[in-house]
């Protein structure tokens, strides 16, 4: 699902979102960097992504530039922070490996967020940062579940666990939700499985761009059986683009996704993929879909 940029105290880890049915708390588009001027009228959150930026400082600079734009438009932000928590392959590719400097780098980054007013510790209402996004589709980036020390039992990948612990061990970010989106392959056994890893995140999304509406929502319900919805929340990631590699099916029906989100109190965010697609058509350039998601997003943003 990645695009290039050019184109535990569970009670404390809950967001302000109630688990009762009603409007999802957030509406915004996946990989929304550079697009808040276009869609800030009907979104209340933006996804700041830094994929394919080889240099960590360049990624950090982009994050702060996008945070400034989000704050100016009174939007919250989900921040892609994989460059701080992992080392990656050539051209920022998978697999992800441990970043030996992650603790120092994370603490310095958090200090910057606080000093510039984007993160107010223990005060999500006053913060621009709503969640951190350490890794996209972890099961496809070498962070699938691993065998335990006994060689038989399975556990979450220790590289993933240690990276998330870096966020949670910092007192200023311990209560900020950690989010991730998995592919439909997260539940397969063997090297692609993420049965235990998926339980490490506060907000968990699922993408499957080849599934129709019924199949996709069935998989969302299956995901809910693998997490603890007493404290974990769900992100819906409907396909909202066409004519691009990897988009195997017709876009999911916006109203169907919205109805599901409103009826399910575990859904914290509706995050269509995506507003602008550099290799195809995104929601921005599909008139009927733009109209539908503008209406839906405006209801979430403005209707109590």
- Other CB atoms within 10 Å distance of the CB of residue 30: 25
Tens digit of each residue's pLDDT (9 = 90 or more) over 249-280? 889 999 999 999 999 999 999 999 999 999 99
**Which residues, other chains included, contact 137 with Cβ-Cβ below 8 Å and sequence gap of 6+?**
1, 2, 181, 182, 183, 186, 207
**Residue 234 structure tokens:** 């769900």
Is pLDDT at 11 greater than 80 in this prediction? no
What mean pLDDT value characterizes the chain?
Answer: 91
Residue 279: both structure tokens together:
């290799």
Which of 270, 94, 51 is CA-nearest to residue 192?
A: 94
The residue among 222, 245, 244, 242 whose CA lies nearest residue 234 is 222
C-alpha 224/C-alpha 239 separation (Å) is 19
For 44-53, the pLDDT digits (tens) are 999 999 988 9
Residues 18-41 have pLDDT tens digits of 445 689 999 999 999 999 999 999
- Residue 37's φ and ψ, nearest 5 degrees, are -65, -30
Judged against a pLDDT cut of 50, whether residue 16 lies above it is answered with no
Q: What's the CA gap between 220 and 121, in Å, rounded?
A: 32
> What is the rounded CA–CA span in Å between residue 256 and residue 236?
11
DSSP string covering 139-155? GGTT---EE-TTSSSEE
Q: What's the sign of the alpha-carbon dihedral 257, 259, 264, 269?
A: positive
Average pLDDT on 96-123 reads 98
Nearest to 208 by CA among 221, 196, 227: 221
**Nearest one of 78, 223, 197 to 141, comparing CA atoms:** 197
Three-state secondary-structure class, residue 6: coil
Sign of CA dihedral 85, 88, 92, 94: negative
Gap between the Cα atoms of 49 and 171, Å rounded? 24
Model confidence over 57-80: pLDDT tens digits?
Answer: 999 999 999 999 999 999 999 999
pLDDT at 192: 62
Structure tokens at 278: 């550099």
- Counting every residue, how long is the chain? 304
Rounded Cα distance between 217 and 289, Å, is: 19
Coil, helix or strand for 48? strand
**What are the structure tokens assigned to 53, written together?**
């930026």
pLDDT band at 191 (very low <50, low <70, confident <90, very high): low
φ/ψ (deg, to 5) at 219:
-70, -35
200-243 pLDDT, tens digit per residue, is 999 999 999 999 999 999 999 999 999 999 999 999 999 999 99
What whole-number distance in Å separates Cα of residue 127 and Cα of residue 70? 11
Q: What is the token pair recorded at 132?
A: 């951190």
Q: Residue 71: name the closest of 120, 129, 114 by CA.
A: 129
């Amino acid at each position: 699902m990645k695009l290039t940029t050019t184109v535990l105290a569970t009670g404390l880890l809950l967001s302000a979102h109630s688990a009762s049915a009603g409007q999802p708390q957030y509406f915004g588009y996946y990989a929304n960097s550079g697009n808040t001027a276009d869609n800030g009228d009907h979104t209340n959150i933006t996804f700041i992504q830094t994929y394919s930026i080889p240099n960590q400082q360049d990624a950090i600079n982009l994050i702060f530039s996008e945070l400034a734009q989000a704050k100016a438009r009174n939007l919250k932000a989900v921040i892609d922070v994989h460059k701080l928590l992992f080392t990656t392959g050539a051209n920022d590719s998978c697999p992800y490996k441990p970043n030996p400097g992650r603790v120092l780098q994370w603490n310095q980054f958090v200090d910057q967020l606080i000093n510039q007013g984007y993160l107010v510790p223990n005060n999500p209402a006053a913060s621009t940062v709503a969640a951190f996004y350490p890794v996209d589709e972890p099961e496809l980036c070498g962070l699938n579940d691993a065998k335990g020390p006994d060689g038989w039992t399975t556990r979450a990948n220790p590289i993933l666990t240690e990276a998330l612990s870096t966020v949670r061990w910092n007192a200023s970010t311990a209560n900020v939700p950690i989010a991730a989106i998995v592919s439909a392959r997260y539940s397969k056994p063997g090297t692609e499985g993420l049965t235990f890893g998926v339980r490490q995140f506060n907000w968990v999304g699922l993408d499957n761009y080849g599934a129709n509406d019924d199949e996709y929502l069935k998989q969302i319900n299956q995901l809910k059986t693998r997490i603890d919805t007493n404290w974990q929340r769900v992100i819906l990631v409907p396909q909202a683009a066409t004519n691009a590699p990897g988009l195997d099916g017709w876009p999911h029906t916006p109203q169907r996704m919205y109805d599901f989100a409103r009826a399910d109190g575990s859904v914290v965010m509706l995050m269509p993929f995506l507003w602008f697609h550099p290799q195809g058509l995104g929601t921005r350039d599909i008139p009927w879909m733009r109209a539908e998601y503008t209406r839906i997003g405006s209801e979430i943003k403005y209707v109590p």
